[in-house]
Amino acid sequence: MSDHPGWLLRVSDALSEPPMVVPWMRRSLALLLALPLVGTVGYSLIEKWSVFDSLYMSIITITTIGFGEVHPLSESGRAFTIVYILAGVGVVGHAVSTLATFVADGGFLANLRTRRARMELKHMRDHYVVVGNGRLGREIVAELTHHGAQVVVIDREETNPLPHGVRLIVGDATQDDTLKVAGIERARGLAVATPSDAVNVYVTLSARQINPNLVIHTRVEDDGAGHKAKRAGADGVIQPYHLGGSRVAMGLLRPASLDFVEHATQRQFDDLHMEDVLVGPTTKIRGRLGSLDLHTTRGVSIVALRKQSDGQLVYPGADTVLATGDMLVVVGPPDRVIAFVAEASA
């Protein structure tokens, strides 16, 4: 079992309410609760006592308190008491042993963890779902958690360890129920990173149908699968070999440019940060870029702009006018970028 500080939830457990006690424990508890009833009926019929006296005699007998008889017992009553004591000791001992085994084997704590996981998933919003816990999936998870995102991982097996706080769902992501258990309807983004192109395209299609507003990035190996993933609803397609080749070539041709991009985007560098910033409806960050002079007043630089009107990504000039809904690509020291994000997104 993977030893990670988050929680693990199997889809089969998530789709059915876990019982507080297992069936064989339930039988022991039923027998334990039935003992006072049997004793009450027995003493009432044999000794003709009241219901209360019979119940009282039953309780002090099975608990072996030894307060003495409520009324003198007949010979039949004593015979019944002998049998009742032997049966009661056996039932109580079995129930206690069953409960101790359930707790010692971890069944009780596992039950509580499953319930906690189910409840936490129901309240999770704007999180990220990563399908596949292989090498690529683990890198995606590490980057997301580095930036403080809530992450749920789906994998068929309980294998590789995960960072602190990451949730693991063991199940088949091609099944809609598995995606819904991960809260795909309420998620902000999905990364599909299994080794199979067919699985990745199918998961992309299923997720897009469940949540039309989801941001989806899908791993594929060949160009044909990339086109299919796009048609299935992927916002972005990642081809690891193409991406790796492009980065190597960029390092050879433009090493300083590559160093800058990696410095601004990768988690191991903390002195420079790049962020997408959405211009909010009430922010003061609107108007001509030249008049705003963001580098001087806010300590950040805008390196790209995606206008809401046409969706094109461009390099903004001094005459570019910012409007509500525009997406800015901002770079600068982390504290300045964070402050600018809060101001521009208001």
Give the tens place of pLDDT for each residue, 284-336.
888 888 888 888 899 999 989 998 888 788 888 888 888 888 999 999 998 99
Q: Same domain for 191 and 94?
A: no
Q: Between the ranges 49-63, 90-104, 219-233, 296-310, where is the mean pLDDT highest?
A: 219-233
Any domain includes 9: no
What pLDDT, in 10s, does the model give residues 192-215?
Answer: 999 999 999 999 999 999 999 999
Residue 5: the pLDDT is 45
CA angle 108, 112, 117 (to 5 degrees): 145
Q: Which of 188, 216, 238 is the last residue of a domain?
A: 238
338 lies in some domain: yes
Least confident of 114-118, 144-148, 183-187, 215-219: 114-118
- Please identify, among 41, 75, 104, the residue that sits at the C-terminal boundary of a domain: 104
Please indicate, yes or no, whether residues 332 and 289 belong to a single structural domain of this protein: yes
Phi, psi at 204, each rounded to 5°: -60, -45
Check if the beta carbon of residue 188 is closer than 8 Å to that of residue 127.
Answer: yes
Residues 229 and 277 in one domain: no
The domain that contains 136 carries what CATH number?
A: 3.40.50.720
Domain count, the chain: 3
Who has greater pLDDT, 260 or 9? 260
Count of helix runs (H) and strand runs (E) in the chain: 14, 13
β-strand partners of 155? 170
36 and 64 together in one domain: yes
In a domain, 7, yes or no: no
b/e string for 202-240 if b means 16 or more Cβ within 10 A? Answer: bbbbbbbeebeebebbbbbeeeebbebbbebbbeebbbe
Q: Are residues 178 and 232 in the same domain?
A: yes
> Are residues 224 and 194 part of one domain?
yes
CATH number reported for the structural domain that contains residue 285 in this entry:
3.30.70.1450
- Entry pTM: 0.67
Q: Helix (H, G, I), strand (E, B), or coil: what is residue 318? A: coil
Residue 3 has what pLDDT? 42
- Domain match, 94 and 135 both: no
Same domain, 57 and 151: no
Asked, for residue 112, whether it belongs to a domain, the answer is no
Average pLDDT over residues 104-132: 75
Q: In terms of domains, do 147 and 94 share one?
A: no
**99 and 134 in a common domain:** no
In the predicted structure, residue 260 carries a pLDDT above the cut 80: yes
Q: Between 324 and 1, name the one with better pLDDT.
A: 324
Identify the band that residue 158 occupies on the pLDDT scale cut at 50, 70 and 90. Answer: confident
Query: Has residue 12 been placed in a domain?
Result: no
pLDDT at 4: 44
130 pLDDT above the threshold of 50: yes
- Report the distance separating Cα 91 and Cα 97, nearest Å: 10
How does pLDDT run across 27-59, given as a tens digit for each residue?
777 777 888 888 889 889 998 889 998 888 888
The tens digit of pLDDT for each residue in 57-89 reads 888 888 777 677 778 888 888 898 888 888 888
Question: Could you tell me if residue 255 is inside a domain?
Answer: no
C-beta of residue 241 within 8 angstroms of C-beta of residue 222: no
Whether the predicted pLDDT of 244 surpasses 90: no
Of the two residues 46 and 21, the one the predictor is more confident about is 46
Residues 226 and 309 in one domain: no
Is residue 15 included in any domain, yes or no?
A: no
Please state, rounded to an integer, the average pLDDT across all residues of the chain.
Answer: 84
Q: Which domain holds residue 81?
A: 23-104
Confidence of residue 138 (pLDDT cuts 50, 70, 90): very high
Assess if residue 303 is contained within a domain: yes
The mean pLDDT of 206-232, rounded to a whole number, is 94
Asked if 65 and 152 sit in the same domain, the reply is no
